[in-house]
Homo-oligomer: A and B are copies of this chain.
């Protein structure tokens, strides 16, 4: 048969389903049904279920990195860029909610919680991704220090704290099923940026 976009459709279905329900709660059959693909085709493209999970993580990571970089590229003050991350995340959650009726939270964070206890390789992968996001935030913090917007001090731990705060607010938005919460609580990140000292070495 024609070598159509079967693989892409499978990945798209896997993304949609795993964003909503996580990894274990989504079955291979379910992905295949959603993508209108037979099971044999699934295993033609992916050696195991784990392999499509990697694609899901990659796709979501790309999406979030783009979101972060969009915030960084805005022509606003460095601190406002950090606030912008929360605003863009709020819009993202709003669009998911419009489509599904539910706030899904951050797929990366969700999968981290689900997998990183039992699956050490997965934990290390997520650790790396977290470090990437913190590094992006760290850039904005350094810019902010350069222009005297906030006091100069080690930026990375502050960036980690802000990213953790973002994840916590995403969890809150999920339990409240309210995307606006991300905007409402964005100021917390600014407070951390302004006030948090580096943690003791």
- Residues on A facing B (Cβ under 8 Å): 20-22, 24-25, 102, 104-105, 109-110, 112-114, 116-118, 123, 126-127, 130, 157, 160-161, 163-169, 171-172, 174-177, 184-185, 187-188, 190-192, 194-197, 199-200
Contacts and interface: CB of A to CB of B under 8 A. Distances in A.
Contact of A185 (B127, B167, B191, B199): B199
A110 to B, nearest CB: 5
Given A104-B117, A110-B113, A192-B192, 10 more contacts: A102-B117, A113-B113, A157-B185, A164-B169, A164-B171, A165-B168, A165-B188, A168-B169, A168-B171, A184-B200
A190 to B, nearest CB: 8
Nearest to A126: B175
B184 A188 contact: no
A25 B197 contact: no
Contacts of A104: 117
Nearest to A103: B117
Given A185-B161, A188-B192, A199-B184, A175 B117 contact: no
A79 to B, nearest CB: 12
Contacts of A197: 187
Contacts of A167: 167-168, 171-172
Contacts of A25: 24, 114, 118
A169 B200 CA distance: 16
B114 A114 contact: yes
Nearest to A109: B171
B184 A157 contact: yes
A109 B169 CA distance: 12
A183 to B, nearest CB: 8
A166 to B, nearest CB: 7
